[in-house]
Amino acid sequence: MDPEGSLFVFGVDGLGEISPGDDLAALIAEHASLLEGDVVVVTQKIVSKAEGRTVRIGTSDPEAKRLLAESEAVRVLRRRGDLVVTETRHGFVCANSGVDLSNVAEGWAVLLPEDPDRSARRLRDGLRARTGQRIAVIISDTFGRAWRRGVTDVALGCAGIRPVVDLRGTKDALGRELVATEVCVVDEVASAADLVMGKARSVPVAVVRGVDPAFLGEGAVIEEVVRPYAEDLFR
Amino acid sequence: MDPEGSLFVFGVDGLGEISPGDDLAALIAEHASLLEGDVVVVTQKIVSKAEGRTVRIGTSDPEAKRLLAESEAVRVLRRRGDLVVTETRHGFVCANSGVDLSNVAEGWAVLLPEDPDRSARRLRDGLRARTGQRIAVIISDTFGRAWRRGVTDVALGCAGIRPVVDLRGTKDALGRELVATEVCVVDEVASAADLVMGKARSVPVAVVRGVDPAFLGEGAVIEEVVRPYAEDLFR
């Protein structure tokens, strides 16, 4: 057991219902005791609500949701029943362009943030101003995957943490060069955070404490994690 | 902050080089103080080594690795340079059928366990016998993904933890039924564990403490996570 390299992950609750214009940094700083180097993971849902990224569709008809999802997409990759797998303007490949009707008032839908990395940077700056600490931020959402059943949480945007850490220059335990190990640490942190959030318990924020300081730094999910269409073997 | 719902993740080191026939349960029980409900995440590499799943290829030539990878596959999905994306006998879609030349003696390759869920059950039973505690086990490996750059750790096999937790029956915070939220918790736990393992530091085991007891139970990755070919929209 190595307490120095250990992680501690806890949820932050009690933020209340989020409305357009709410100051998430102030709310989070008020409800959590944050330390230098903490990574704060915030679910996309409350970021979108605070940014006013909700639209009134006036119905919970799956057809209306599908039409909205397609209007948010640059490309529809697959259709199966009510499900559309789309590519969003950001380049995310996900179900229904991330359009979501759960945890929002009846007849309303929540869209993804316009620029989740920018949302993360704003939150990071706000937390810095309020706490005096350097805090990293990840905006997370729940995506399905190819080839494997079940959803997991991934990062839509980040600030203060490197999205992909390239370990190619490092040696393995036997002293040989590692060939290709670019780890998407922001997705791993988002997944770790989801384990304390719980879909039904509706804990919208988690803190991951103890992330390797070598992972902290700058970078954007859109630039480093989203695989461009031309480079992708599976679209 | 809710300490009751928090996670604590730490690495277990000092197991030494693993050889065929080594008793991993004994080694892990000796090097970690395990508690009832802990999830022990073990990297595939040491499980394969303990099970003798290594082959001598006599070269580090990428071409030899590719040929071995194709011989381990039931289907080659994509080729690009030295990389082949394959479907293994288990149904995993991954690079090079999981064949790995790092952290193994020069000229040798490590294959995936024959039945990672069985490997996990054996380890679970061994840890139960040695500690008297009910411990869950996940065998993890590092896979690439469609659509997103960077690798993350996922579960190849598990025991004592439900691979996919179906939250469809539960209500969201506003009391409405959640439509489709089947969370692949074993992949999320594997990702959380990877954050304390570090590819280069070669910590082959991590303990995730505090996993929601509702996630503990029975199930197999091969049956619940691997998406059958016929059901997959992206193969």
* Tens-place pLDDT, residues A11-23: 998 999 999 999 9
The answer to whether A142 faces chain B, any CB pair under 8 Å, is yes
ipTM reported for the complex, 2 dp = 0.94
> Per-residue pLDDT for B168 more than 70?
no
Partner-chain residue, chosen from A103, A184, A196, that has the shortest CB–CB distance to B173: A103
Q: Model confidence over B181-230: pLDDT tens digits?
A: 899 999 999 999 999 997 555 799 999 999 999 999 999 999 999 999 88
Partner-chain residue, chosen from B147, B182, B191, that has the shortest CB–CB distance to A192: B191
Residue B68 token pair = 């071995």
Q: How many angstroms separate the CA atoms of A65 and A53, rounded?
A: 15
Whether residue A8 and residue B10 make contact (CB cut-off 8 A), yes or no, is no
Whether residue B102 and residue A179 make contact (CB cut-off 8 A), yes or no, is yes
Confidence of residue A2 (pLDDT cuts 50, 70, 90): very low
Domain B9-50+113-226 has CATH 3.30.1330.100: yes
Residue A24 token pair = 């998430």
pTM of the complete model beyond 0.90: yes
Q: What is the pLDDT of residue B65?
A: 86
Whether residue A187 and residue B152 make contact (CB cut-off 8 A), yes or no, is yes
For residue A193, count other CB atoms closer than 10 A to its CB: 29
Residue matched to tokens 């802990």: B38
Confidence of residue A1 (pLDDT cuts 50, 70, 90): very low
> Per-residue pLDDT for B121 more than 90?
yes
Q: Identify the architecture of domain B54-112 in CATH.
A: Alpha-Beta Complex (3.90)
Q: What is the pLDDT of residue B146?
A: 94
Q: What is the pLDDT of residue A58?
A: 86
Residue B109 token pair = 């390759």
Whether residue B153 and residue A188 make contact (CB cut-off 8 A), yes or no, is yes
Task: Report the percentage of chain B scoring pLDDT > 90.
Answer: 74
How large is the average pLDDT for residues B31-39? Answer: 97
Task: Report the percentage of chain B scoring pLDDT > 70.
Answer: 91
Lowest mean pLDDT among A31-40, A60-69, B158-167, B223-232: A60-69
CA distances from B96 to A139, B51, B109 (A): 32, 20, 11
The answer to whether B14 faces chain A, any CB pair under 8 Å, is no
Q: Which residues contact B122 (CB under 8 A, 6 or more apart)?
A: B25
Residue ranges covered by each domain of chain B: 9-50+113-226, 54-112
Nearest CA in chain B to A94: B147
Pick from B74, B90, B145 the residue to mutate for testing the A interface (most A CBs within 10 Å).
Answer: B145
> Per-residue pLDDT for B102 more than 60?
yes
Confidence of residue B179 (pLDDT cuts 50, 70, 90): low
Q: How many angstroms separate the CA atoms of B8 and A33, rounded?
A: 17
- The CA distance from B174 to the nearest CA of chain A, in Å, is 6
Confidence of residue A62 (pLDDT cuts 50, 70, 90): confident
The answer to whether B1 faces chain A, any CB pair under 8 Å, is yes
> Per-residue pLDDT for A123 more than 60?
yes
- The CA distance from B133 to the nearest CA of chain A, in Å, is 18
How does the average pLDDT of chain B come out, rounded? 91
- The CA distance from B48 to the nearest CA of chain A, in Å, is 17
Q: Are strands B93-95 and B83-88 parallel, antiparallel or unpaired?
A: antiparallel
How large is the average pLDDT for residues A75-82? Answer: 89
Whether residue B202 and residue A10 make contact (CB cut-off 8 A), yes or no, is no
Q: What is the pLDDT of residue B101?
A: 85
- The CA distance from A190 to the nearest CA of chain B, in Å, is 9
Confidence of residue A80 (pLDDT cuts 50, 70, 90): confident
Whether residue B146 and residue A148 make contact (CB cut-off 8 A), yes or no, is no
> Per-residue pLDDT for B136 more than 70?
yes
Contact at 8 Å (CB) between B9 and B206?
Answer: yes
Residues of B in contact with A146 (CB under 8 A): 93, 145-147, 227, 232-235
Q: Are strands A83-88 and A152-159 parallel, antiparallel or unpaired?
A: unpaired
- Residue A120 carries which side chain, given as an amino acid letter? A
How does the average pLDDT of chain A come out, rounded? 91
> Per-residue pLDDT for A135 more than 90?
yes
Q: What is the pLDDT of residue B2?
A: 45
Q: Model confidence over B37-84: pLDDT tens digits?
A: 999 999 999 999 999 999 999 877 788 888 999 999 999 999 988 789
The answer to whether B179 faces chain A, any CB pair under 8 Å, is yes
Where does A36-43+114-225 sit in CATH, by number?
3.30.1330.100
Q: How many angstroms separate the CA atoms of B88 and B114, rounded?
A: 10
Q: What is the pLDDT of residue B231?
A: 87
Give contacts of B 180-209 with A, CB under 8 A.
181-185, 187-189, 191-192, 194-196, 198-203, 207-208
Confidence of residue A235 (pLDDT cuts 50, 70, 90): confident
Lowest mean pLDDT among A10-14, A187-191, B3-7, B68-72: B3-7
How large is the average pLDDT for residues B17-26? Answer: 96
Whether residue B195 and residue A195 make contact (CB cut-off 8 A), yes or no, is no
Whether residue B5 and residue A192 make contact (CB cut-off 8 A), yes or no, is no
Q: Are strands A39-43 and A136-143 parallel, antiparallel or unpaired?
A: parallel
